[in-house]
Structure 1
Amino acid sequence: MTMMKTARIHEYGDASAIRHDSVPRPRPAFGDVLVRVAATSFNPTEAALRAGLLHAFLPVDLPHALGWDVAGTVAEIGAGVEGFAVGDRVVGRLDDGGAAAEYVRAPAAVLVAAPASVPLAHAAALPVAGLTAWQAVFEHGKVAAGQRVLVNGAGGGVGGFVTQLAAYAGAEVIATAGPRSTEAVLRQGADQVIDYTAGPVGAALDGPVDILLNLVPLGPPDAAALAPLVRPGGRIVSIATPIEPAADSGVSAMHMVARNDVAHLAALVELVDAGAVGIDISESRPLADLAEVHRLSEAGRIRGKVLIVP
């Protein structure tokens, strides 16, 4: 029996709940492929899952292997799988996790060809953050050329893709970010960066915006302060704290949860290979450092996307 290493939680708790286990390498079932993992990437929601904060609507069986994003190479193909061959470079979102490991069994239906223009490990930053950004910008925000878009929380992993996709759509992008993220956000296509640590966002904004894309958890006062920044007839899309505009404002608002969509992921890969979207990797860590990455994220010390390499 061939063994492999994986990062799992056996119980909910703080970052020390993450254990590094040696388990049998899985075999692909019908419709699956076995992927040799080049990297997964860290998403802050995984820290919430580890802590048990998502249990009510995202229950998992324990022990649970972490890692929703995967980029790697097809190592073995299960029965009923077409369109993939051993050695193919693939990327995908694994709704059941498991990519924080040397190998992972993945449904072929959630995988697409990885971008050819970037290192394979870097593609692991795309699925969760990229799909969230794509659906926020195009599906729910309906961002179009000439619109003014406020991206609240552009310095995070999702924020980098949101900024790039909104700029790609031809919008004027106004982004909020802390000082350490300003240069990166400007490189990603923001026309203006507002330092949210320097004072109220509205005080630095020159006129209302058409669309507000909120990517960060907010307290009630901060959420209430953002809503009036959107013009009548505009839209608010939040992936974090719901933001409710005044009933008579004429502003529509929604709170979204991204779904797994291989067509959207394939479109993102095309934009990466075309040079229209870049993948900002802030650092790469070995699997043994996963607990430390969780701690850094919970302390607010993560910028962009962090790769976890087995």
Structure 2
Amino acid sequence: MRLRVAASAFNAADNGMRAGFLAIPVVFPHVPGYDVSGTIDAVGDDVDGFAVGDAVIAFLSMATDGGAAEYVIAPADALVAAPTSVPLADAAALPSVALTARQALFDDGGLEAGQRVLIVGAGGVVGKYAIALAKRAGAYVIATASPRSAEAVRAAGADEIIDHTKADVLDAVTDQVDLLLNLAPIEPDEFTALVRLVRDGGIVVSATAWMPAPDDADCGVRSVVVFVRSDAEKLAELASLVDEGVLALEVTRRIPLTELPALHAEAAEGRVAGKMIVVP
């Protein structure tokens, strides 16, 4: 399938691949932008369910050329209908971050209704999606956030918010949780200490792929590091949740494609806050 690109999203992994410290087997020259939205411009042979003119989104393989371009070739099995309640360009901000939140909570974390989840670093885009998805599933959500993001975390649906700049999370969480989800670049020792907040038989899930997730075998607490996976069926569900108002799509900045090198330079100097989309 060939897409006329409406936008691609900038992700930290794009910067990591460019800088060479993320072990994704790309072939150079490489076009970044594995989150993409656009309109189908041409349909390949033996493709059913799509037509020229359809508005779609996709989470593309990180190892292949992405959507930071005017056109991109995408496999049909990666495409889903774009949400209709938001601008098509903005929809590029959804795929990998929403899939990460969903897979961390349910595929890897096994979260169920009535359970308690602690989300560390909930103020980012993945964190706010995770809060909304966990609340929709009937879980009780405790979230850590800074004062800057506290209101957005509250709006996402958190039951408790811990200001990690003032309070010790270990003291602030009074009852153990079933799932600890870490999304923050915390120190390994701090991460390990948080495991005592997890009940016997619970689970620790981490999206910080650069360090192992701690566990506690004596208490039956296991751990897993989530690596986002392409899943068109789940992505279609997430797109529908945007249209239903369950997920609030976040776009912090919109930049033209010509400014993408400057954005990479900015990311190389430090973390880029929020969610950026790149418009050709």
Q: Structures share a fold, TM > 0.5? A: yes
Aligned partner of 1:256 in structure 2 is 226
Residue-by-residue CA offset, 1:60-80 (whole Å, 9 max, x unaligned): 111100000010111122222
Aligned partner of 1:78 in structure 2 is 44
Give the Cα separation in 1 of the matches to 2:112 and 2:156.
17
- 2:31–2:68 contact (8 Å) kept in structure 1: yes
CA displacement at 1:278 relative to structure 2: 1.6
- 1:157–1:303 contact (8 Å) kept in structure 2: no
- 2:203–2:223 contact (8 Å) kept in structure 1: yes
Residue-by-residue CA offset, 1:137-196 (whole Å, 9 max, x unaligned): 111112222211111121222222111111111111111222221111111111222222
Give the Cα separation in 1 of the matches to 2:55 and 2:6.
10
Matched, 1:271 2:241: yes
Give the Cα separation in 2 of the matches to 1:210 and 1:225.
16
Structure 1 residues 175 and 217, CA, compared in 2 at 3 Å: closer, same or farther? Answer: same
- Structure 1: gaps spanning 5 or more residues: 1-32
Give the Cα separation in 2 of the matches to 1:102 and 1:140.
35
Give the Cα separation in 2 of the matches to 1:48 and 1:258.
15
Structure 1 residues 171 and 266, CA, compared in 2 at 3 Å: closer, same or farther? Answer: same
Residue-by-residue CA offset, 1:18-44 (whole Å, 9 max, x unaligned): xxxxxxxxxxxxxxx111111111111
Higher-strand-fraction structure: 1
CA displacement at 1:299 relative to structure 2: 4.9
Structure 1 residues 109 and 34, CA, compared in 2 at 3 Å: closer, same or farther? Answer: same
Identical amino acids, percent of aligned pairs: 50
- 1:69–1:94 contact (8 Å) kept in structure 2: yes
Structure 1 residues 170 and 141, CA, compared in 2 at 3 Å: closer, same or farther? Answer: same
SS at match of 1:179: coil
Give the Cα separation in 2 of the matches to 1:193 and 1:92.
33
- 1:233–1:251 contact (8 Å) kept in structure 2: yes
Amino acid of the residue matched to residue 196 of structure 2?
P
Give the Cα separation in 2 of the matches to 1:45 and 1:301.
12
Q: TM-score, normalised by structure 1?
A: 0.84
Amino acid of the residue matched to residue 82 of structure 1?
D
**Correspondence for 2:12 among 44, 52, 59:** 44
Give the Cα separation in 1 of the matches to 2:268 and 2:117.
28
Indicate the RMSD between aligned Cα atoms, in angstroms: 1.7
CA displacement at 1:124 relative to structure 2: 0.7
CA displacement at 1:199 relative to structure 2: 4.5
Aligned partner of 1:306 in structure 2 is 276
Q: TM-score, normalised by structure 2?
A: 0.92
* Runs of 4+ displaced beyond 6 Å: none
Aligned partner of 1:102 in structure 2 is 70
**Correspondence for 2:175 among 169, 189, 207:** 207
- 2:216–2:222 contact (8 Å) kept in structure 1: no
Structure 1 residues 291 and 226, CA, compared in 2 at 3 Å: closer, same or farther? Answer: farther
Give the Cα separation in 2 of the matches to 1:305 and 1:48.
16
CA displacement at 1:207 relative to structure 2: 2.1
Give the Cα separation in 1 of the matches to 2:133 and 2:267.
24
**Correspondence for 1:123 among 69, 78, 91:** 91
Give the Cα separation in 2 of the matches to 1:295 and 1:218.
24
Give the Cα separation in 1 of the matches to 2:167 and 2:260.
34
**Correspondence for 2:28 among 62, 65, 68:** 62
